[in-house]
C-alpha cells in the first residue's frame, strides 16, 4: 500500500525549544494487519505468559505471588491470620484488585475443595467447587495459613535455587518459580484461558505421580500406565478406565476423560443418593437438567429431586416412583444429565516463557530437568557456605599453634585498624580469616574452645568433597531427588479418590422412547394457533374456538409420538413432536406456534406437516406458477435439531405447502381467473430443499397463483376440463368455479 504523508505542522522553535519533535503530527497509512500485529500480539503474549497459563512449578503468577506472600508473612508455621491481611500484603506483588486476589486464594483453599492437595489451610466459608451458588464469605471473615505441603514448595528457596526479579515497583524481590520438590504441575488441576489458546490440566494422585517420576528417572523407557493409573480428582467420582485414551493423554497432552457420579440406592426410601459428581459440573446444573428432563417426559421414573448438601458434604437425592428399576434409571441419568461428563485434557504449559502442549511424559521430563537445576544450585550454595566456613576454621587452626602470640600481637598493636594487618603478617592468614580471629571474645581465647571449633575441619572437607561430587553428576542429583520424592510420598500420600469403572462392566441400555403413544387430532389455524385434542374430547365438542377472523386451516389424525414440522415465511422448518404439546379441548385457543417454537422475528406459519416415518413429499407452490416436489425424508435428521434453515425457496412468494403421502392431483387457481389440475407424478422429486421447482402454470402479465389445494379423484373427475397432461400449461378459464377463498384444504 503506498504511503501518504500529511504536511508536517509548523512550530515556532524559538517559543517552544523543547516541544519540537521531528515527525510529530505526521499521519502515516499502514495495513491493518501490520497494526494488529504490532499492537495486539504483545497483549496476547502478555496474557498467555503473565496470567493464564501455569509454569513447570505448577503455578500461574497470581498463585505464586499469593503463596510467596504468605510464606514471607510466616504463615507456614505460624497461626492463621485474616484473609484480608493476606490480600493486602499480596498487593505489593500483584497490583490488581483485592477481589481478584481473594478469589484466586479461595480456589487454593482446603475449604473450597477444588484441589487434590490444597495449598491454603482455611477456616471459615470458602464456598464449594461443586456448587455454583454457594458463595464464599468476605475476606474480613475468613482466616488462612499455608498447608504443611507448602514446605515442599519453599524448602531451600533462600539457597539460590530459583531466580528472583524485582516486583512491579522495584520495592522488593519475588521468585520467578517456586522450587517445588514434587511435580505439583500434575498433582493439582489448573485451568486457564488465554488469547486464541487455552489450558486444562487435570490432577493426578501424589503417590502415583511421584512414583512415575522416580521410575522415569531410573528408566526413560518406563511405561507410565504401570504406575500412573489415571487422573485423580478432588471430588472423587468414577473414571472410565480406557488405556488407549490414557496413552493418548500421556503422550500428547490431549484427550477426553469420561467421568461418572458415584451413587447409592436407599431401598427404604426408594431413592438414588448421589455422593460424588464429575469435576466438570455442579450440583445446580445437575438438578436443573434432571428437572428439565422430567418436564420433557424423558425421566418419567423420577418423582422428586432435591439438593441435600450440608456440612457433611455433597448429597443429591432423587426419589423414584414405585416399581422402578434404580439401575436402569441411573443409566438413563448418565445419558441425559451431567451425572456423566467428560474432562477435556489440554496440557498447555509455559516452558521457558513459551506455551507448549505436552503429554505427561514430556511434562515430567521438563520437571526433572527443572528440579535437577534447583538441586544443583542448592548444592553449589551449600558448597560455597561450607567452603567459607572451612576457610575460617583453617585460619583459626593456625592461631591454635600459638595463642599467646596472637594475644601479644593484639596487645602490642597501638591502633585498632592495625590489628587485622598484624594478625595477617604474624600468622600468614588472609583478611577474612584475620577478621574472624579478631572478633573472637576474650573468654574464648582458650585451647578447649579452639580445639572444639577446629575438630570439624575434617568433617567439612569430607562434606565438601561429597557436595562437589553431587554437583558434578546428574545421576547423583537424581538420586537426591528420588530420595526426597519417597519422603514426600510417606508424609503426604493419600489413597485415590477417583475410582474406576470399565466399559465391559456396564451394559449400556438402549435409549428407548417411553413417550406414551395414543391417537389424537391436531389442528392448525390460519394465524398459527395449534391444538392437540383427544378423540373422546373431540366427540363431546360442539365447535372449535378460534380468534375473531381466524379459522382452522389444517386438521390431521395422528399419534402422540409422531413428528411435527412447521414451515415458515422465513424459509425455515421448525421441528418438534406431538408429545411436546399438552392435550387441550376444542374450547381452548391452543398454543401459539411462533412463540412456542421461538420463531425468528416476523416469521409466520405457512403450513404444518406431520409424520412418523418421513415418507411422502412436500409440495411447495409459489406465486409465479412454479411448484417444487421435495421428499419429506430431506427433513429427517439424526440429531434432535429444532430448526432447519433453507427449508424452502425464498426466490418467490410461497402460496402453499402441501403434504402428500403419494402422488395425487392438485388444483391451482390464478389471479386472472384461470384454473389448472395436474398430477404430482409429472414432477420429479428434488433433493435440494430450497429448490423453486419447475414451471407448472404459465401466467400472463401480472397474474400470479392465489390458491392451491389437494383434491380427490372424484372431484378431479368432475373438473376434468381443467386437467393437463403435461406441464407447464396455461390452464382453462374458471369463471363458473366458486371463489377460491371458499375452498378448504
Q: Write out pLDDT tens, residues 539-563.
A: 776 688 888 888 998 888 999 888 9
Asked, as a colleague might, if the bond just before 693 is cis with ω within 30 of 0, I would say no
Q: Check whether 16 has a pLDDT greater than 60.
A: no
Domain stops at, among 179, 198, 220 = 179
Give the pLDDT band (50/70/90) at residue 25.
low
Bigger pLDDT: 179 vs 516: 179
pLDDT of residue 22: 63
Q: Is residue 363 part of a domain?
A: no
> pLDDT class for 745, splitting at 50, 70, 90?
very low
Return all residues near 612 (Cβ < 8 A) that are at least 6 apart: 558, 559, 561, 562, 563
Average pLDDT over residues 697-715: 88
Give me the DSSP letters along 591-603. Answer: EEHHHHTTPPTT-
CATH number, position 173: 3.90.199.10
The band of 14, judged by pLDDT with boundaries at 50, 70 and 90, is low
In this structure, the answer to whether residues 695 and 588 fall within a common structural domain is yes
Q: Which domain holds residue 407?
A: 369-492
CATH of the domain at 718: 2.120.10.90
Regarding whether 647 and 593 lie in a shared domain, the answer is yes
Residue 81: per-residue pLDDT = 95
Closest by Cα among 558, 559, 576 to 567:
576
Could you tell me the CATH number of the domain that includes residue 456? 1.10.268.10
559 shares a domain with 688: yes
For the stretch 494-507, pLDDT in tens is: 999 999 988 776 65
Q: What per-residue confidence (pLDDT) applies to 5?
A: 46
- State the chain's mean pLDDT as an integer: 88
- 507 occurs within a structural domain: no
Boundary residue ending a domain (148, 179, 210): 179
Q: What cell numbers appear for 643 in the block?
A: 430448526
- Reported as a single tens digit per residue, the pLDDT across 574-584 is 999 888 888 88
Give residue-wise pLDDT tens across range 625-636: 999 999 999 998
Q: Rounded distance, CA 736 to CA 733, Å?
A: 8
From 43, 141, 304, 551, active-site residue: 141
Q: Cell digits for 696? A: 407448472
Say yes or no: 416 and 470 in one domain.
yes
Same domain assignment for residues 570 and 696 = yes
Do residues 610 and 689 share a domain?
Answer: yes
Assign 125 a pLDDT band (cuts: 50, 70, 90).
Answer: very high
**Rounded CA separation 727/474 (Å):** 89
Is residue 389 domain-resident? yes
**311 in any annotated domain:** yes
Whether residues 333 and 424 share a domain: the answer is: no
User: Out of 253-257, 259-263, 420-424, 505-509, which region has the weakest mean confidence (pLDDT)?
Assistant: 505-509
Which of 55-64, 296-305, 594-603, 711-720 is predicted most confidently?
Answer: 55-64
The reply to whether 145 falls in a domain is yes
| DSSP β-ladder status, 499-501 and 238-240 | parallel
Section 14-37 average pLDDT: 70
Residue owning grid cell 505460624: 78
The total number of structural domains in the chain stands at 4
Q: Are residues 459 and 596 in the same domain?
A: no
Q: Where are the alpha helices (DSSP H) in 512-614?
A: 535-540, 593-596
User: Does residue 351 sit within a domain?
Assistant: no
Give how far Cα 204 sits from Cα of 94, 171, 227, 333, Å.
Answer: 29, 38, 11, 27
Q: Are residues 547 and 614 in the same domain?
A: yes
pLDDT at residue 23 in the model? 63
| pLDDT higher than 80, residue 76 | yes
Give per-residue pLDDT as tens, 170-184: 899 999 999 999 999
Q: Which helix (H) or strand (E) segment is 438 a member of?
A: helix 431-438
Is the pLDDT score of 483 beyond 60?
yes
Instruction: Write b or e for each residue in 252-270: b if 16 or more Cβ atoms lie within 10 A of its Cβ, otherwise e.
Output: bbebebbbbbbbeeeeeeb
- 550 and 461 part of one domain: no
Q: Average of pLDDT values for 239-267?
A: 93
Is the dihedral angle over the CA atoms 669, 672, 673, 675 positive or is it negative?
negative
What's the CATH code of the domain at 284?
3.30.1360.40
Catalytic residue check, 141: yes
Enter the pTM of the model. Answer: 0.71
Q: Both 488 and 523 in a single domain? A: no
How far is residue 231's CA from residue 187's CA, in Å, rounded to a whole number? 9
Q: What pLDDT does 103 receive?
A: 94
Instruction: Mark which of 338, 353, 383 sits at the end of a domain.
Output: 338
Say if 347 falls within a structural domain. no
| 406 found inside a domain | yes
Asked whether the beta carbons of 220 and 481 are under 8 A apart, the reply is no
3-class secondary structure, 230:
coil
For residue 1, the model assigns a pLDDT of 46
Based on the fold, state whether residues 474 and 526 are members of the same structural domain: no
Bridge partner residues of 621 (DSSP): 627, 656
Q: Residue ranges of the alpha helices (H) in 165-316?
A: 184-187, 206-218, 243-252, 283-295
Mean pLDDT of 458-487: 92
Amino acid at each position: 500500500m503506498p504511503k501518504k504523508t500529511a504536511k508536517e505542522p509548523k512550530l515556532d522553535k524559538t517559543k517552544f525549544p523543547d516541544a519540537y519533535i521531528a515527525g510529530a503530527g505526521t499521519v502515516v497509512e499502514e495495513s491493518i494487519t501490520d497494526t494488529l500485529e504490532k499492537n495486539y500480539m504483545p497483549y496476547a503474549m502478555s496474557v498467555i505468559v503473565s496470567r493464564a497459563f501455569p509454569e513447570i512449578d505448577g503455578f500461574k503468577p497470581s498463585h505464586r505471588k499469593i503463596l510467596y506472600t504468605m510464606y514471607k508473612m510466616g504463615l507456614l508455621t505460624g497461626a492463621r491470620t485474616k484473609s484480608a491481611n493476606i490480600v493486602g500484603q499480596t498487593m505489593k506483588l500483584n497490583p490488581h484488585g483485592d477481589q481478584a486476589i481473594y478469589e484466586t486464594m479461595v480456589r487454593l483453599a482446603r475449604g473450597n475443595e477444588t484441589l487434590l492437595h490444597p495449598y491454603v489451610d482455611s477456616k471459615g466459608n470458602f464456598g464449594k467447587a461443586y456448587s455454583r451458588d454457594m458463595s464464599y464469605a468476605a475476606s474480613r471473615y475468613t482466616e488462612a495459613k499455608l498447608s504443611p505441603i507448602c514446605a515442599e514448595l519453599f524448602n531451600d528457596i533462600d539457597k539460590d535455587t530459583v531466580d528472583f526479579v524485582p516486583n512491579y515497583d522495584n520495592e522488593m524481590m519475588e521468585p520467578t518459580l517456586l522450587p517445588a520438590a514434587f511435580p505439583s504441575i500434575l498433582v493439582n488441576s489448573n485451568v486457564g484461558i488465554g488469547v486464541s489458546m487455552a489450558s486444562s490440566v487435570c490432577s493426578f494422585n501424589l503417590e502415583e505421580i511421584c512414583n512415575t517420576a522416580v521410575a522415569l528417572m531410573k528408566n526413560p523407557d518406563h511405561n507410565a500406565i504401570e504406575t500412573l493409573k489415571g487422573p485423580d480428582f478432588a471430588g472423587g467420582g468414577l473414571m472410565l478406565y480406557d488405556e488407549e485414551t490414557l496413552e493418548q493423554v500421556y503422550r500428547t497432552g490431549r484427550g477426553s476423560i469420561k467421568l461418572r457420579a458415584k451413587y447409592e440406592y436407599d431401598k427404604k426410601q426408594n431413592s438414588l443418593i448421589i455422593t460424588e459428581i464429575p469435576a466438570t459440573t455442579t450440583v445446580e446444573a445437575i438438578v436443573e437438567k434432571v428437572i428439565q428432563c422430567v418436564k420433557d417426559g424423558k425421566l418419567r421414573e423420577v418423582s422428586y429431586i432435591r439438593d441435600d448438601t450440608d456440612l457433611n458434604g455433597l448429597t443429591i437425592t432423587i426419589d423414584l416412583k414405585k416399581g422402578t428399576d434404580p439401575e436402569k434409571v441411573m443409566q438413563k441419568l448418565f445419558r441425559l444429565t451431567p451425572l456423566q461428563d467428560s474432562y477435556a485434557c489440554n496440557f498447555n504449559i509455559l516452558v521457558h516463557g513459551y506455551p507448549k502442549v505436552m503429554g505427561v511424559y514430556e511434562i515430567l521430563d521438563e520437571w526433572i530437568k527443572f528440579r535437577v537445576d534447583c538441586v544443583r544450585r542448592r548444592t553449589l550454595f551449600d558448597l560455597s557456605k561450607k567452603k567459607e566456613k572451612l576457610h575460617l576454621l583453617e585460619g583459626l587452626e593456625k592461631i591454635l599453634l600459638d595463642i599467646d602470640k596472637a594475644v601479644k600481637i593484639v596487645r602490642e598493636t597501638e591502633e585498632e585498624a592495625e590489628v587485622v594487618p598484624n594478625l595477617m603478617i604474624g600468622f600468614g592468614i588472609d583478611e577474612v580469616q584475620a577478621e574472624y580471629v579478631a572478633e573472637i571474645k576474650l573468654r574464648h581465647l582458650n585451647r578447649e574452645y579452639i580445639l572444639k571449633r577446629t575438630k570439624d575441619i575434617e568433617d567439612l572437607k569430607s562434606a565438601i568433597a561429597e557436595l562437589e561430587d553431587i554437583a558434578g553428576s546428574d545421576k547423583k542429583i537424581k538420586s537426591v531427588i528420588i530420595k526426597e520424592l519417597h519422603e514426600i510420598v510417606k508424609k503426604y500420600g493419600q489413597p485415590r479418590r477417583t475410582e474406576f469403572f470399565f466399559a465391559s462392566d456396564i451394559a449400556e441400555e438402549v435409549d428407548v422412547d417411553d413417550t406414551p403413544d395414543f391417537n389424537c387430532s391436531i389442528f392448525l389455524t390460519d394465524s398459527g394457533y395449534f391444538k392437540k385434542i383427544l378423540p373422546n374430547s373431540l366427540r363431546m365438542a360442539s365447535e372449535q374456538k378460534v380468534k375473531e377472523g381466524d379459522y382452522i386451516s389444517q386438521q390431521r389424525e395422528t399419534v402422540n409420538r409422531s413428528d411435527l414440522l412447521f414451515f415458515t415465511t422465513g424459509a425455515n422448518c421448525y421441528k418438534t413432536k406431538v408429545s411436546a404439546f399438552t392435550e387441550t379441548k376444542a374450547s381452548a385457543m391452543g398454543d401459539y406456534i411462533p412463540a412456542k417454537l421461538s420463531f425468528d422475528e416476523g416469521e409466520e406459519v405457512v403450513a404444518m406437516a406431520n409424520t412418523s416415518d418421513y415418507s411422502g413429499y412436500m409440495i411447495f407452490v409459489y406465486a409465479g406458477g412454479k411448484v417444487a416436489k421435495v421428499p419429506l425424508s430431506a427433513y429427517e435428521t439424526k440429531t434432535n435439531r429444532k430448526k432447519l434453515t433453507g427449508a424452502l425457496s425464498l426466490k418467490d412468494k410461497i402460496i402453499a405447502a402441501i403434504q402428500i403421502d403419494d402422488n395425487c392431483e392438485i388444483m391451482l387457481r390464478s389471479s386472472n381467473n384461470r384454473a389448472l389440475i395436474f398430477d404430482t407424478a409429472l414432477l420429479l422429486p428434488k433433493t435440494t430443499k430450497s429448490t423453486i421447482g419447475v414451471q407448472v402454470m404459465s401466467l400472463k402479465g401480472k397474474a400470479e397463483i392465489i390458491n392451491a389445494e389437494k383434491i380427490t379423484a372424484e372431484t378431479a373427475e368432475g373438473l376434468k376440463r381443467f386437467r393437463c397432461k403435461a406441464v407447464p400449461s396455461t390452464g382453462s378459464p374458471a369463471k363458473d368455479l366458486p371463489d377460491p377463498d371458499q375452498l378448504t384444504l
